[in-house]
Amino acid sequence: MSEDTFRSVEIERTSVGRYVVRNVRGGSMSMGTGEDASFTPVELLLAAIGGCTAIDVDHITSRRAEPTQFSVEVTGDKIRDEAGGNRMQNLRVEFTVTFPVGADGDRAREALPRSLQQSHERLCTVSRTVELGTPVSIVEAAGSTGD
């Protein structure tokens, strides 16, 4: 893998059911089981799906006009499927975006539907990965079982 394509995060346990997620740029956030204010892994998945598209749409439309409102709600249902496994279904990303009155706002409003489509069909790595399905391998690091 080349340096420009490789992505990673590191997760460290802080206590039972509580973790800190860190990226290579020094950012961190808490993650947990939903017993406190920390994001759950499912909430992070929803945030990643919505955030990825939001970034794409924002970059495209903001070139034309600064939005007066820009919010995204991502929803879905966590279910146990026929095989007895947990997964999400009915994923929905809903944008509420408004632009100022005037020619620049009109251009941004005109660009909005196409930018949503471009993000969904081509640009957003997260939602495209979820929709296309990508195998996930789970491995144990050498020497991780004992002191």
pLDDT reading at 83 higher than 60? yes
pLDDT single digits (tens) 88-100: 999 999 999 999 9
The sign one gets for the Cα dihedral 125, 39, 60, 131 is positive
Side chain identity, residue 34: G
CATH superfamily assigned to domain 40-132: K homology (KH) domain (3.30.300.20)
The pLDDT assigned to 146 comes to 62
Q: Where are the domains of the chain?
A: 1-39, 40-132
**Cβ-contact 41, 33 below 8 angstroms:** no
Helix (H, G, I), strand (E, B) or coil at 140: coil
Cα 50 from chain centre: 5
What is the spatial distance between Cα 145 and Cα 147, in angstroms, rounded to a whole number? 7
Question: What's the token pair of residue 119?
Answer: 């993000």
Q: Tell me the CA distances in angstroms from 74 to 26, 27, 71, 104, one per residue in order.
A: 26, 23, 10, 28
Question: What's the token pair of residue 137?
Answer: 């391998």
pLDDT single digits (tens) 122-142: 999 999 999 999 999 999 988
Q: Whole-model pTM?
A: 0.90
